[in-house]
Structures are given as structure tokens and as C-alpha cells.
């Protein structure tokens, strides 16, 4: 299930139960000077099965890369990280 589908499901459930809609994005983040450096740190950890996650569920990379991904989530409607 994609992030947009989960977000829409959350919105519908909140509205149906009279709750405010407050989308929160929860992601582990690892920053390094470059994307390659960040992945070099994270790949061995993921290979060991870190929390059952993969790169799609993490924000990994240079500051510019992570900011770009955060802006994409913001454009989807996520308001808090």
C-alpha cells in the first residue's frame, strides 16, 4: 500500500470518527555529506535486517536529497515529521 493510499485511508477514518486530520510522517533519517556516503553507512545495517525496513521506508542521503523527499511528503499532505 502506497503512502498516498495510507494517507487517504487515515483521512477518511479520522473524518468518520469526528477526529481532526493531522497527518504525521514517521521515518528514520540518516544524513551524510553525499548520497553514496549515506548509503554506504546504511546498506550493511539494512542487510542485517534493521527493523524489517528497506530504503523506501527511510530518509537516507545528503541534506538536499532528504529535503527533496520531505518536500514530496509535504506536497502529499503530511504536516508533521
Distance CA 78, CA 81 (A): 8
- What pLDDT is stored for residue 29 in this prediction? 95
Longest dimension (CA), the chain: 45
Residue 50 has pLDDT above 70, yes or no: yes
Report the SS3 class of residue 75.
helix
- What pLDDT is stored for residue 18 in this prediction? 97
Closest CA to 35 of 69, 65, 72: 65
Extract the C-alpha cell encoding 80.
Answer: 508533521
Instruction: Give 37's pLDDT tier (boundaries 50, 70, 90).
Output: very high
Numbers of helices and strands, H then E, in the chain: 3, 2
Amino acid at each position: 500500500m502506497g503512502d498516498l493510499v495510507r494517507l487517504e485511508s487515515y483521512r477518511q477514518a479520522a473524518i468518520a470518527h469526528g477526529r481532526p486530520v493531522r497527518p504525521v510522517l514517521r521515518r528514520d533519517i540518516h544524513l551524510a555529506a553525499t548520497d553514496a556516503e549515506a548509503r554506504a553507512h546504511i546498506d550493511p545495517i539494512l542487510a542485517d535486517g534493521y527493523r524489517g525496513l528497506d530504503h523506501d521506508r527511510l530518509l537516507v542521503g545528503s541534506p538536499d536529497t532528504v529535503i527533496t523527499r520531505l518536500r514530496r511528503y509535504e506536497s502529499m499532505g503530511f504536516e508533521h515529521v
